[in-house]
Amino acid sequence: MHVTPEVTPIPCLKDNYAYLLRCPSTGLIGVVDPSAAQPLIKVLRDKGWGLDYIFNTHHHWDHIGGNEELKKQFPSIRIFGHQSDQGRIPGQTDGVQDGQVVRFGAFDGFVIHNPGHTSGAITYVWGNAAFTGDTLFAGGCGRIFEGSPQDMYFSLHQKIGLLPPETRLYFGHEYTEKNLQFSLDVEPTNHKAQELLKEVSKLRSEGKFTTPSTISQEFATNPFMRTTELEIQKRVCELEPDADLSPVSVFRVLREYKNQF
C-alpha cells in the first residue's frame, strides 16, 4: 500500500526543482511547479506517460513557466493554485484554499495556505510528502515579497511546522548548502547543522540532490525554525542591538540578514 505518490525531482532552470508525481494504482501523473516545460516533456516522452495535473505552489514565473506549453501538449490537464492566484497562474482551472482536500489518483491530500513569500503561497500534502515551493527550504525559508515577517513566521511555525516530524519536505530550489552556511553563521555550535553541511557538500560535489528534507531536520538545523535558541538570539542582538527577542522579531532580523548574506 503506497501512502504517498511516487516522486521524481526534475531539475529545471538554474536551481529549481519540479516534482513529477505518479499514482501507482491509477497511473495518473502530476507535476508540482513546472518552471520549464521541456525537461518534463522529455521525461514524460521517455517514460511514455501523459500528464493529468499541474500543482502550482505560487505564481512566480520560475514555478509556472511551463504551464502554457504543457497545456498545449496535454489540453485536458487540470492546473491547481490558490484561489487568490486566479489570473496570476497561467491556465489555472482549480482554485484551492486552506485545508481543502486535493485528490490525486488514489491519494487524498490537502492544501496548506502559507502566505509570506507571496500572498497565495500554498503547500500540497499527500501522506508524508509535503511540497513547500519557496516557503520552507532545507536550512532556510523564502524571501518575503507579499507579506510580513509575522505572516511568514506563522506560516512556518503554525502551519507547515505542525506537520508530523517525519514528513518529507520537497522544496523549490537547491539552496541547501548556502542555507546551512548561513545557519552556522548565526548558530556556530549547532552540531547537527555542521554534520549536515558536510553531507550536503559531498552530495553536491557528486551532482546529487539534497531534496527532500524532513520537518524534524528543519527544527534541528534551520535557524528560521529555531528562533528561541539562545545562541541565535545572541547573534540577533549583535546584528540589531535594540531588537526585542520575541520569536517574530528574531525571525525578522534573521530574514533581513539572510537577504544580504
Active site residues: 58, 60, 62-63, 117, 134, 173
Q: What is the Cα–Cα distance from 87 to 235, expressed in whole angstroms?
A: 42
Q: What is the Cα–Cα distance from 180 to 177, expressed in whole angstroms?
A: 5
How far does CA 236 lie from the centroid of its chain? 25
Q: What is the Cα–Cα distance from 182 to 81, expressed in whole angstroms?
A: 31
Contacts of 108-111 spanning 24+ positions with Cβ under 8 A: 111/82
Q: Which residues contact 81 (CB under 8 A, 6 or more apart)?
A: 56, 58, 59, 88, 89, 92, 94, 95, 96, 120, 122
CA dihedral of residues 71, 77, 78, 79 (deg, nearest 10): -30
Q: Which residues contact 51 (CB under 8 A, 6 or more apart)?
A: 29, 30, 31, 40, 44, 70, 73, 74, 77
Q: Which three cell numbers stand for residue 52?
A: 493529468
Cβ atoms of residues 6 and 30 within 8 Å? no
With CA atoms as reference, report the closest residue to 136 among 148, 119, 121: 121
Cβ atoms of residues 222 and 139 within 8 Å? yes
